[in-house]
């Protein structure tokens, strides 16, 4: 038979205190254990921003102007006045062609002009002389005609002076015709002189634009043909074009936006995603949609003063067509992709996380537009997602600063 022992009433309070202390100690250990199990994370807040609506495409850089420099005259290339790859200005001397044959032709044309001018002076003197003689002969014929009327001389004598006067008048007309011929010859000589001077000027080949020279295609001593031999190619780099194509379904939106003002185009060198984009503006929409690809070709013009863009280079282009006002934006690192689509982990007030499916919009820089699923001011996890499930307790190690996003097109 077992015995029941009752503790004295004075010891009971002491036992209760001991039990309370033991329970408190266990609770502190449990809290500490829970802290140790909390997953470390970094977080960022969802903010509302004005973000651009953009169309991205791969483009290629084109020279603003490309000139294939040729010579207008044939001859020996005597001298090259630049080095390959040199920047040249409009009007700079590039090549010299042997000018001796053209200078000889100019000297001959000037000599012919001088000869015909001297002949013109002689013809003018002859004309003046013949006019004077014709006037004298006419006066003589008039006097002898009066003498015939008075019966002093016979009519035969008067006819002789009348014939002489007519001959002098015909000589004057001949002199005038010869004078016109000489004047026409002088005009032809002057044209020949101008032509010879132009041909001589073509012996000095100058740059028609500001730009950068390419490889030298013909070297000194070679014979070049008129308007056939390409001597060098010059590309104008500042400004420059970037050509790219976008799907035709964007064409109405682009045309509508362009009707409201200039559209900004950003170009970023491929493989250099962290560099600042080069900013230009849309200046060309092709007049035909490419039926083979279903795209429309566009061009942006860029000042390119620092030569960041180079002809033939491929770039990533972004065309801004509109802006979205006050839309939720979260760091792109916060958006995860699962079987059911994109989702984020949202930090709750009890320091646990909740899985939240979202609908994402365009990504700008390091931020993504959240079209549905998040509100401004909510906190999302940006790092440490691999250890999280719905309801996981977490410990915030760091709150990331919100990265800047451009809110207004330049």
Domains of the chain and any CATH numbers: 40-48+326-399 (2.40.420.20), 54-62+237-324 (2.40.30.170), 67-97+206-234 (2.40.50.100), 100-201 (1.10.287.620)
Statement: residue 58 has pLDDT above 90: yes
Statement: residue 273 has pLDDT above 90: no
Give dist(CA 75, CA 227) in Å, integer.
Answer: 12
Kindly report the average pLDDT of the chain as a whole number.
85
pLDDT tens, residue by residue, 186-228: 999 999 999 999 999 999 999 999 999 999 999 999 999 999 9
- pTM here is 0.63
Statement: residue 4 has pLDDT above 70: no
Q: Residue 208 forms beta bridges with which residues?
A: none
Which pLDDT belongs to residue 195? 95
102-135: b (≥16 Cβ within 10 Å) or e: beebbeebbebbeebbebbeebeebbeebbebbe
- Report strand pairing: 230-247 vs 211-213: antiparallel
The DSSP element (H or E) to which 157 belongs, if any, is helix 155-201
Task: Give helix then strand counts, H and E, for the chain.
Answer: 4, 20
pLDDT tens, residue by residue, 234-247: 999 999 999 999 99
Which pLDDT belongs to residue 404? 47
- In the chain, the percentage of residues whose pLDDT exceeds 90 is 58
Which pLDDT belongs to residue 152? 67
């Amino acid at each position: 038979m077992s015995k029941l022992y009752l503790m004295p009433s004075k010891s009971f309070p002491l036992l209760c205190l001991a039990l309370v202390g033991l329970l408190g100690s266990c609770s502190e250990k449990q809290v500490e254990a829970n802290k140790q199990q909390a997953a470390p994370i970094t977080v960022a807040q969802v903010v509302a921003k004005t973000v651009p609506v953009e169309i991205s495409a791969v483009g290629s850089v084109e020279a603003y102007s490309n000139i294939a420099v040729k010579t207008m005259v044939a001859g020996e290339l005597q001298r090259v006045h630049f080095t390959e790859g040199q920047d040249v200005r409009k009007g700079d001397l590039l090549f010299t062609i042997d000018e001796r044959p053209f200078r000889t032709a100019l000297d001959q044309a000037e000599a012919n002009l001088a000869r015909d001018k001297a002949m013109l002076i002689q013809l003018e003197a002859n004309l003046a002389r013949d006019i004077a003689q014709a006037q004298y002969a006419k006066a003589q014929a008039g006097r002898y005609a009066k003498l015939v009327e008075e019966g002093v001389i016979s009519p035969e004598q008067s006819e002789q002076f009348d014939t002489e006067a007519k001959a002098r008048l015909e000589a004057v007309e001949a002199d005038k015709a010869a004078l016109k011929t000489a004047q026409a010859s002088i005009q032809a000589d002057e044209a020949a002189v101008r032509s010879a001077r132009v041909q001589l000027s073509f012996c000095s080949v100058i740059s028609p634009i500001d730009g950068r020279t390419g490889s030298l295609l013909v070297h000194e001593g070679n014979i070049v043909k008129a308007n056939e031999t390409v001597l060098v190619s010059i590309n104008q780099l500042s400004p420059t074009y970037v050509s790219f194509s976008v799907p035709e379904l964007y064409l109405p939106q682009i045309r509508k936006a362009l009707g409201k003002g200039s559209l900004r185009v950003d170009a970023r060198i491929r493989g250099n995603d962290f560099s600042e984009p080069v900013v230009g503006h849309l200046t060309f929409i092709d007049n035909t949609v490419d039926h083979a690809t279903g795209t429309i070709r566009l061009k942006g013009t860029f000042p390119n003063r620092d030569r960041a863009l180079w002809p033939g280079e491929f770039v990533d282009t972004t065309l801004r067509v509109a802006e979205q006002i006050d839309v939720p934006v979260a760091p792109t690192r916060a958006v995860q992709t699962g079987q059911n689509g994109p989702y984020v982990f949202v930090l709750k007030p009890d320091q646990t996380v909740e899985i939240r499916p979202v609908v994402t919009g365009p990504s700008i820089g390091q931020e993504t537009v959240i079209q549905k699923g998040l509100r401004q001011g909510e906190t999302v996890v940006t790092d440490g997602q691999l250890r999280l499930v719905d309801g996981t307790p977490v410990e915030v190690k760091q709150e990331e600063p919100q990265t800047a996003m451009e809110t207004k097109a330049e």
